[in-house]
Amino acid sequence: MVREAVDVNGQSGAGRTAKNRAKVRTSNLNFYYGDNQVLKGVNLAIAQNKVTALIGPSGCGKTTLLRCFNRMHDLYPGNRYEGEIILDSAVNLLSKKIDPIEVRMRVGMVFQRPNPFPKSIYENVAYGLRVQGEKRRRVLDEKVEKSLRAAALWDEVKDRLNEVGNSLSGGQQQRLCIARALATDPELILFDEPTSALDPIATASIEDLMASLKETVTILVVTHSMQQAARISDYTAFMYLGEMMEFGTTKKIFSAPKEERTRDYIGGRFG
Amino acid sequence: MLPSLAEVAKGKGRLRGNLAERAIEVALFLAAFSAVAITFSIMALLITESVGLFKTVSIVEFLTGTEWAPLFEPPRYGILPLVCGTVMTSIVALCVAIPMGTISALYLSEFASPRVREIVKPGLELLSGIPTVVYGYFALIFVTPMLQRFLLPNLPGFNMLSPGMVMGIMIIPLIASVSEDAMRAVPRELREASYGTGATKLQTALQVVFPAAASGVSSSYILAVSRAVGETMIVSVAAGLQPTLTLNPTEPAATITAYIVQVSLGDLPHGSTEYQTIFAAGLMLALVTLTFNVMGHFLSKRYRENY
């Protein structure tokens, strides 16, 4: 019954027009840490150029789901996926034939705590291009500037690109990390509670940034804050105990949730 | 407003707490202070005993003389040949230990599966459990003949190359273990951020983990230098005990430590000039090590990263 609701919402909620077509779609996604099944038959369609928020109580599997999209789980032994994550209705990201490194070039990630590399601001942003073999100075300069502008950080750092990334404030560091993720022109960016370590002002700047970024990329964000989900997302997925309980437009999920669990969680009765 | 009884009682309790606090503070201070005090008394001993030597030998001659023969007639007190022997054997050792130790650390921290690490790491650490005199004879009766047979047929039986190399092998686990700890302390998120941009394992290890651990890694190098400079047994056994001023590692030479152990084994009259040379050589050694430690301090400060 639950799965049905998701399918219906996933299809009709994301719409069928070209502009709103699904960028990524998971089908019957199961995920195991060893013998422990953490995701149970997750079906989710992520609309292109929209912000989709994953909400749910701690331990519901929302971060685990997020980390499936760039195969981050491959880094650790004993992890296993079942099901499919289809990008652009064409490629199954979980296929054994697909190199996770290629997946990560197309799917960027921003982490909970700002984690700039121990390198200069410039090299932090250029990193993704350098590891892909880009050596031409002109191309790097261009991309670094473009990414920093897109991350609304250029004006603050343009005169000190050679200082280490750690010299920036927390909010600036997080925008640097967003610029780093943008530099390789990913199609989808995963945000794992990107503002949980930031103060309200920095949080607001990151939220504004995400709203402007969705013109060029598709965004999937895990958040603990329902207010944040309501503020920034177009679609919201509510997860509970590894299952996708309810998915739909943010407006619908927050104003008229179908499931009782969703209603209780959004109403603050648990979580 | 007068304080209530309860508040007064609480204040007394705090006073008692403060006394205990003070006692612990003093005890901790004494423990920390004793290490400093011992270091300073050793330095004081070295200096006072060396002063006697510098009454007969000028400091300039001691530091710039190119011949060291305090037991011969006429005696020569130029420390340079000993310093040179120490520096050369240490350089050879570091040429072996730094690359090998760093690569081992990178492998253990970034590439080895937990199972491989469980076997390799204790194995590596066994290397540092071997007594140095064994390493000395290993250099003398195995490495030197091997070098003579396959690489350098004209290599003398005593030389700096072979003990230097063996000393390097001995130091590998020190660098590997300290560097590996530093690399493993690099936060997981930093690695994930690197993988997240599409980097490979090798790129992540070399371009993110290594620089992030640079402070710890450079400390391990400095520790290695101190260890190499202070190493006594291997060079005494396999480098020959003839002070020679040469930059050629295939020649025999004596190091500062080898001289000290050689001379202090004989029975030198207390207070004689020969006796005092031991302390002057020891002082020199302490100063060399101190210089490296200070350098290490600044290096690790320069590269310190706060995550």
> Which residue in chain A has the smallest CA separation from B303?
A118
Averaged pLDDT, B22-43: 93
Residue A241 in domain: yes
HSE-up (13 A, CA, CB side) for residue B210: 14
Summarised one tens digit per residue, pLDDT across range B176-225 is 999 999 999 999 999 999 999 999 999 999 999 999 998 889 889 988 99
Residue A1 has pLDDT above 50, yes or no: no
- Rounded to two decimals, the ipTM of the complex is 0.87
Residue A123 has pLDDT above 60, yes or no: yes
Percentage of residues in chain B with pLDDT exceeding 70?
93
Residue A143 structural domain: 2-266
Q: Do B212 and A117 touch (CB under 8 A)?
A: yes
Q: For chain A, what is the domain count?
A: 1
Residue B6: predicted pLDDT: 61
Summarised one tens digit per residue, pLDDT across range A241-267 is 999 999 999 999 999 899 888 999 988
> Which residue in chain B has the smallest CA separation from A167?
B306
pLDDT band at B9 (very low <50, low <70, confident <90, very high): low
Residue B65 has pLDDT above 60, yes or no: yes
Structural contact between residues A108 and B196, judged by C-beta atoms closer than 8 angstroms:
yes
Of the residues B197, B204, B207, B217, the best mutation for testing chain A's interface (the one with the most A CB atoms within 10 Å of its CB) is: B197
Picking from B189, B195, B211, the nearest residue to A118 by CB comes out as B211
pLDDT band at A213 (very low <50, low <70, confident <90, very high): very high
Mean pLDDT taken over chain B = 88
Residue B307: predicted pLDDT: 46
Q: Do A127 and B200 touch (CB under 8 A)?
A: no
- B66: which residues sit within 8 A by CB, 6+ positions away? B78, B80, B81, B245
CATH number at residue A144: 3.40.50.300
Q: Which residue has the higher pLDDT, B295 or A131?
A: A131
Helices within B68-160 (DSSP H only): 80-106, 114-127, 132-138, 144-150
Residue A269: predicted pLDDT: 80
Which tokens belong to A90? 């064409």
Residue A49 in domain: yes
Summarised one tens digit per residue, pLDDT across range B130-176 is 999 999 999 999 999 999 999 988 999 999 999 999 999 999 999 99
Picking from A70, A112, A166, the nearest residue to B196 by CB comes out as A70
Residue A11 has pLDDT above 60, yes or no: no
Whether A176 and chain B come into contact, CB under 8 Å, resolves to no
Determine the Cα–Cα distance for residues B305 and A36; give it in Å rounded to an integer. 37
Residues from chain B that touch A112, judged by Cβ atoms under 8 A, are 189
Whether B306 and chain A come into contact, CB under 8 Å, resolves to yes
Residue B135: predicted pLDDT: 95
Residue A6: predicted pLDDT: 39
Residue A271 in domain: no
Q: Do A127 and B199 touch (CB under 8 A)?
A: yes
Could you give the angle at which helices A200-213 and A170-182 cross, rounded to 10 degrees?
Answer: 20
Residue A134 in domain: yes
Residues from chain A that touch B191, judged by Cβ atoms under 8 A, are 75
Whether B209 and chain A come into contact, CB under 8 Å, resolves to no
Structural contact between residues B125 and B172, judged by C-beta atoms closer than 8 angstroms:
no
Which tokens belong to B134? 């064994």
Percentage of residues in chain A with pLDDT exceeding 70?
92
Summarised one tens digit per residue, pLDDT across range A27-36 is 999 999 999 9
pLDDT band at B100 (very low <50, low <70, confident <90, very high): very high
Question: What CATH number does the domain located at B69-302 have?
Answer: 1.10.3720.10
